Structure 1
């Protein structure tokens, strides 16, 4: 959004999502695998085992992302190196079974099978959870206006108001994978009238939200400075 298109009077909404939303790659993979398994039909087809192993690999990587934080690029590089090494080792054992016979026989014995019903049920469960998340986050969200900060929470939409002038915000990208998957991060709000700060984790599209908030607060600062304090009355001449 350019500076000319920005409207400082338009409110900005901030919602903090739970980490379960980061499983959406597995959700998409389960739907794709379900349709592939539906067309394969034959459970003895070797492609079924490859499909199940691929799904388990995506699920495993996604669960690692969900379980651990990767705050730096070095940890991200290390993670991808470990994943590449594991998959490379598995492929090596499959192509050259005589290299390590015991290990090769173990990997060759891994032939999981899952029908389309399993994949669609998995996607259905995640879909129901996502629908619940969609409604619950709308019962607890923040709204930033040009002159005040509002906190909506509760089933009946309880409201707390804070003054927007001198409001400070801080952005933190504490997990590289969260940022890559949803462009999300942590937003810390410091109202001037409150001794404590409010921390919002996993806010999607955090860069755009921070830029809009900064422009809104800058416009508010300019307005306050232009108005200025009232001038003292002059003494009439006697």
Structure 2
């Protein structure tokens, strides 16, 4: 009795055969600039006692936090809205600097700005970083119980604590990539991915999928290779 060794797949075959995982993250992940800024500010605050430096750190942190919150709260679908936002921010910052350096222009405004001295100790910044870190840890755990997996011949939806599984046919799967927010794309390369499985009346919308362009290209390449294989199989019959 002879045994036939199994065929060894070529090394370059794995790229198209590997599953593609799609995860829809909550928008809180876009606060990672604030997380790293809090860590950096806390580290600097722990080694300095200069009040002027503390005020500069507090001011920079507040501006970055405000920018991050605006990104989280509003959508900027086009570069024109992005340009307008930066113009408004630059005008606001320029106005603050102008009134501080030229107090005789508007003495009342200068008096208000003079009283604003944002500063905090290292404990405050590390507390902010710890809160965000715990939230990110919880998000990393939660997404492991709700994600999509694209394979060559099927689309899988893993969800639930007990790993419930839904299967959909991958052939003729249509995908739509949408970049609804320029800031979200700049921060994480994220966007919206809409999946339209064949023989399924509903479409599945995945918001805030990181690195959406590379994932969309991989899915398109995988489905294209699958369509070619299906056509070849039909022609050979």
User: Does TM-score exceed 0.5, indicating one fold?
Assistant: yes
Aligned to 2:106: 100
Aligned to 1:36: 44
User: Pairwise mapping of residues 138-157 of structure 1 onto structure 2 (< 5 A)?
Assistant: 138-157=144-163
1:11 to 19, 36, 42: 19
State the 1:105 CA deviation.
Answer: 1.2
Residues 59-116 of structure 1, C-alpha deviations (whole Å, 9 max, x = no match): 1110000000001111000000000000000011111111111111111110122100
State the 1:229 CA deviation.
Answer: 6.5
State the 1:41 CA deviation.
Answer: 3.1
Aligned to 2:185: 179
User: Pairwise mapping of residues 70-219 of structure 1 onto structure 2 (< 5 A)?
Assistant: 70-219=76-225
Give the 3 Å change call, closer, same or farther, for CA 15–115 of structure 1 in structure 2.
same
Residues 159-207 of structure 1, C-alpha deviations (whole Å, 9 max, x = no match): 0000011000000000000000000000000000210100000000001
Query: Whole-Å Cα distance in 2 between the matches of residues 85 and 107 of structure 1?
Result: 16
Query: Whole-Å Cα distance in 1 between the matches of residues 187 and 155 of structure 2?
Result: 28
Query: Whole-Å Cα distance in 2 between the matches of residues 50 and 97 of structure 1?
Result: 20
State the 1:7 CA deviation.
Answer: 2.2
State the 1:219 CA deviation.
Answer: 0.4
Query: Whole-Å Cα distance in 2 between the matches of residues 5 and 192 of structure 1?
Result: 26
Extract structure 1 runs of 4+ deviating beyond 2 A: 4-7
Residues 101-147 of structure 1, C-alpha deviations (whole Å, 9 max, x = no match): 11111111101221000000100000000000011011100000000
- Figure out how many residues of one structure are paired with residues of the other and give that number: 226
Give the 3 Å change call, closer, same or farther, for CA 154–88 of structure 1 in structure 2.
same
State the 1:228 CA deviation.
Answer: 0.3
Structure 1 stretch 104-113 or stretch 144-153: which is displaced more? 104-113
User: Does the alignment pair 1:49 with 2:46?
Assistant: no
State the 1:10 CA deviation.
Answer: 0.8
TM-score, normalization: structure 2?
A: 0.92
- Structure 1: which 5+ runs fail to align? 232-238
State the 1:53 CA deviation.
Answer: 1.5
SS in 2 for 1:194: coil
Aligned to 1:235: none
